[in-house]
Amino acid sequence: MAKDPKIISVANSKGGVGKSVVTLLLATSLAQEKGKKVLVIDCDSQASIQEMYEQEKELYPDKTPLIEVEALSPRRVQTFMKRFGADYDVIFIDIPRMTDQKQDSATVMLLYNCDGLLIPVIGSEVDILSTQEFMAIAKEAEAFKQEMKEHLTVYGFINRRNQRKSNELAEQLLRKQGLKMFNHSIPDLKIFTTPSIFKSPLSVAEGQRRFKDFFDEFCRKFKV
Ligand SMILES: Nc1ncnc2c1ncn2[C@@H]1O[C@H](COP(=O)(O)OP(=O)(O)OP(=O)(O)O)[C@@H](O)[C@H]1O
Ligand SMILES: [Mg+2]
């Protein structure tokens, strides 16, 4: 019998922290390395993932993508998942940056559908502030899930890690404030800037070296 899919969002209210890129890196890795059936629901009205998907498919019409992508407005996600969710092992919901009050409440509701939230953090002061704001949203989602006798797994990680001290400071500060952080981070790397729906980052040596530990930690912590 079909099992419920695991629903995960790489989420932060801040824009440009790597939500979409990391979603694609994880989605393609799960499909290629673990044979999972993976869907990415693109809820960003700019539909950046959907656009990339269509463009790449057009370039290589004979190739089969590792993952599926569906662009949906936040209000349509629940109905879609009720109908088609059981076809997948893992569903990622890619949320837009939060700017507009009205649109944001629909985005926040999306998080209540999730089993896991993975929060990318860039080690700068503005990013830490917005992550702190997002932690409050994640806490509410966690409390809601608890009331429903369900569980929400929440972890943060440093994206685009470099040698700057601000990376460590961000990590320490967020940990102190109660955000569980991954032991591994994602470095700032060229190969991560153009993910492909046909190829996981782990299929190249640099990805194996720089992303494998993070990916393994993700699979362990989010039980996929
Ligand atoms: N680990 C990384 N190494 C190098 N570049 C990265 C990394 N993570 C993200 N980027 C780059 O940073 C930019 C923003 O990433 P992305 O679009 O995934 O962010 P986002 O959080 O989804 O933004 P938005 O809120 O606008 O949707 C992109 O150009 C992406 O290629
Ligand atoms: Mg995005």
**For residue 193, pLDDT beyond 90:** no
Residue 5 CA to ligand 2 centre (angstroms): 22
pLDDT tens for 99-145 read 866 568 889 999 999 999 999 999 888 888 889 999 999 999 999 99
**What is the DSSP secondary structure assignment for residue 198, as one 8-state letter?**
T
Residue 53 CA to ligand 2 centre (angstroms): 14
Please identify, in words, the CATH class of the domain defined by 6-221.
alpha beta
pLDDT tens for 28-59 read 999 999 999 999 999 998 888 999 999 999 99
Residue 143 CA to ligand 1 centre (angstroms): 29
The answer for residues whose C-beta is within 8 angstroms of residue 158's C-beta and 6 or more apart is 121, 122, 123, 167, 170, 171, 181, 182, 185, 186
Opening angle at CA 28, ends 23 and 30, nearest 5 = 95
Distance CA 106, CA 94 (A): 13
User: Ligand 1: which of 12, 20, 118 to mutate, most ligand atoms within 8 Å of CB?
Assistant: 20
State the pTM of this model: 0.96
Joined together, the tokens standing for residue 209 give 């070296």
> Closest Cα to atom 14, ligand 1: which residue?
16
16 CB within 6 A, ligand 1: yes
> Closest Cα to atom 8, ligand 1: which residue?
18
Residue 74 pLDDT: 92
Residue 160 and residue 210 in contact, taking contact as beta carbons nearer than 8 Å: no
